[in-house]
Amino acid sequence: MNNKVTPPSWLNQKEKIEFRRLLKFRNYTPEELDRLAEYSHTIVAVYKFRKVVDDEGEVLISPRTGAAYTNPAYNILANLQNRMDKLRDKLYPPPKQHTKKKETLRDIL
C-alpha cells in the first residue's frame, strides 16, 4: 500500500524526503497519513530551529539593557519537540510492557 502513497503537495522538498523515509517503517492506515505528513513537517522544522539555536545560543543578551533572555527560537524549538513527541507516540506507540506485581510480605511468607 505505501508504495502508491505520495507526499502531500503542501510539504516542501525536505519534508517530502522525510515523509518517504518514514513510509518505509511500516504500513500506515489512510487515517494516519495526515499525521505522518505533519510529523515529517515537524521533524524538518526541529532540524531548522536546532541549527538556529546552535548558532545563536539558548540565551541572548539584550544590546539595549544588557539583560539575558531566552532565545525565542529556543522556545519555538521546545514547542516543536513537544509536538513531535506527541505525533511520534501516536504513530509509533511504545510496546506495552508487562509490569511485574510488587512483591509483598504476604508473597514472601
Residues 21-38 have a mean pLDDT of: 93
* DSSP for residue 31: G
The pLDDT, as a whole number, for residue 96 is 77
Q: State the DSSP H helix or E strand holding residue 50, giving kind and residue range, or none if neither.
A: helix 33-56
pLDDT band of 54, cuts 50, 70, 90: very high
* DSSP for residue 69: E
User: Among the listed ranges 5-9, 59-63, 99-103, which one has the minimum average pLDDT value?
Assistant: 99-103
The letter for the amino acid at 3 is N
The pLDDT, as a whole number, for residue 9 is 94
Residue 103 has pLDDT above 80, yes or no: no
Reported as half-sphere exposure (CB side, CA atoms, 13 A), residue 89 has a value of 7
Domain ranges of the chain: 2-92
